Amino acid sequence: MRIDVSFNNLGDILVHTFADPLKRAVQIAGGKTALLDGDRSFTYAELYDRCARLVGGLKKLGLNKGDRVAIWSDNNHQYIETYVGVPAGGLVVVPLNTRHAEPELRYALEDSGTTVLLTDRDASGLSDIVEHIIPLDDAYEQLLDAPAAPLGEGVVEDDLAGLFYTGGTTGKSKGVMLSHRNLIANTFHWLTSVPQTRNDVTLVMAPLFHAAGSNGVLASIWTAGLQITLGAFNPTEVLGLIEDHNVSLTLGVPTMLAAMAEEQHSNPRKVDTIRAIAHGGSPIATEVVRRTWTAFPTAEMIEVYGATELSPLTTALRDEQDLLDDDRARSCGQSIPGTDVRILNPEGQEVPAGEIGEVVVRGPNVMVGYWNKPEQTADVLKDGAYWTGDLGYMDEEGYVFLVDRSKDMIVSGGENVYCTEVEEILYKHPAVLEAAVYGIPDERWGEAVYATVVPREEHSNIDPEELVGFCREHIAGYKVPKGVDIRQEPLPKSGPGKVLKRELRAPFWEGSDRAVN
């Protein structure tokens, strides 16, 4: 397949948009398999053609540059075609959280002004706010029955590529505006941390509606690798795909890694092709890293940290498995080349090494802003830098240690308690599968430390007082949980897999004169 590229001036070859990874892949590996989705496979030439015809079909519906196209679906080949093709054609993709309830979906669709919704589920209740709802079945294929539209034509790097609605773990969801420049820059940032070649096989198991889930898509296409999409996460299916297709790379959230490790330890499969397992989205306990690595000993464990507002990556901790007994194991690594990470006090001054402040990031990956929310944008974007709301410190070698979200910090009797420190201790107990620490009201101290724990199946009858006593042996008294709630079902999580602590806190703060963060 021949892709025409015009070189009218030098600027044309210096500007990168979503069309460029596709064009390069077709140029160097047009006949190579690009994508596997169940029993369906597509070469790079076919992927490019389907993306171009998708854009052609959308334009036949009357869409013009900058119009929004939402997708509400599990991971599949249509998702990747939409995620890459829609921006490459000058439109804006709006990935929707598959775990959101109808009011949350309506909010995102109305707020974004979406014209077309592509979906693999019943969206009839949203027909009053979206002009075109197209199921990802024969109707989607009919949409592609259109002349191919040129990809990249009239598209520049500062154009909006996507609106990513935040998970809402600390408040109302916001549409994060990410440009082609933001996402292309972060693709290169990713490739500096996890170099890839055309021989790599990437398992796309993190949900693509989350920026971290989609981060590796452009990297795999740009390097002409193979991607395999996984729909709903299932650890048994994950191991089967790794074994059957020689998967070499994957990325997930800590809860996914924990489930994969449990399954591999219980029912081992041949997984020695895995060379890297990256994780992010929320802090991880070193014990979860250790158990994952012992289940997948050929893998380099890589922690990545960032935010949707950062497209999403900004730091990486390489060879995490070699640091399990090192203090740096509790860090999220050093800044990725291309990003500038500082720890600042509220006045915007950099604090000394080891001192806690707010993590602030500069770079081409910093979002354009929040859609239709200038005040909230101004709160977090200051002089071109993004103030993450995460509290942390940096050591003398630039390793960043997160201590908590600023809104999750517990202040008990004037002492700051960082939830991750307490969670780290709980995870060391052999009975603990999942743990979340948060603050509850206390008449004497203002707030008290409290924990919810999901035990391993063989420890389902664990006495909460045993866990309290275990914590008391390892941390100061004011950090020890006042109580531990034993929960047999998994902790509540957002779509990207972050624990929703606000749901755990809410019953304790009901009727309080203090709002639940």
- Residue 515, both tokens: 């709002």
Q: Is 362 helix (H, G, I), strand (E, B) or coil?
A: strand
pLDDT of res. 166 = 81
- For residue 408, give the DSSP letter: G
CA distance 310 to 190: 12
Q: What share of the chain is helix, strand, coil (3-state, %, to 5)?
A: 35, 25, 40
Q: For residue range 112-143, what is the model confidence (pLDDT) as tens digits?
A: 999 999 999 999 999 999 999 999 999 999 99
C-alpha–C-alpha distance, residues 437 and 453, integer Å: 9
Segments of the chain with pLDDT less than 50:
2, 4-13, 168-171, 513-517
CA 8 – CA 90 distance, rounded (Å): 20
pLDDT of 11 reads 37
The CATH class of 409-509 is alpha beta
8 Å CB contact between 495 and 481: no
Contact between 409 and 422 (Cβ < 8 Å): no
CA–CA distances in Å: residue 387 to residues 114, 363, 416: 29, 12, 21
Identify the residue whose tokens are 């890459």: 84
Q: Rounded distance, CA 300 to CA 277, Å?
A: 6
CA distances from 299 to 69, 160, 251, 275 (A): 37, 36, 12, 4
Burial, 176: exposed, middle or buried (Cβ in 10 Å; 0-12, 13-18, 19+)? buried
- Dihedral, CA of residue 41, residue 45, residue 50 and residue 53, to nearest 10: -160
What is the DSSP secondary structure assignment for residue 341, as one 8-state letter?
E
What does pTM read for this prediction?
A: 0.84
Q: Closest Cα to residue 316, out of 279, 358, 291, 368?
A: 279
Contact 481, 508 (CB under 8 A): no
Nearest to 314 by CA among 280, 277, 357, 355: 280
pLDDT (0 to 100) of residue 172? 63
CA–CA separation, 90 vs 69, rounded Å? 11
199, 70 in Cβ contact below 8 A?
A: no
| Closest to 253 in 3D by CA, of 189, 287, 296, 210 | 210
pLDDT at res. 287: 86
pLDDT of residue 494: 77
pLDDT in tens, 383-405: 999 999 999 999 999 999 988 77
* Cβ pair 400, 392 in contact under 8 A: yes
Closest CA to 435 of 410, 466, 467: 467
The count of other CB atoms within 10 Å of the CB of residue 485 is: 14
- 2-8 contacts at long range (C-beta below 8 A, 24 or more positions apart): 3/27, 3/48
d(CA 189, CA 177): 19
Taking the C-alpha atoms of residue 32 and residue 34, their distance in angstroms, rounded to an integer, is 6
Quick one: pLDDT at residue 170?
A: 43
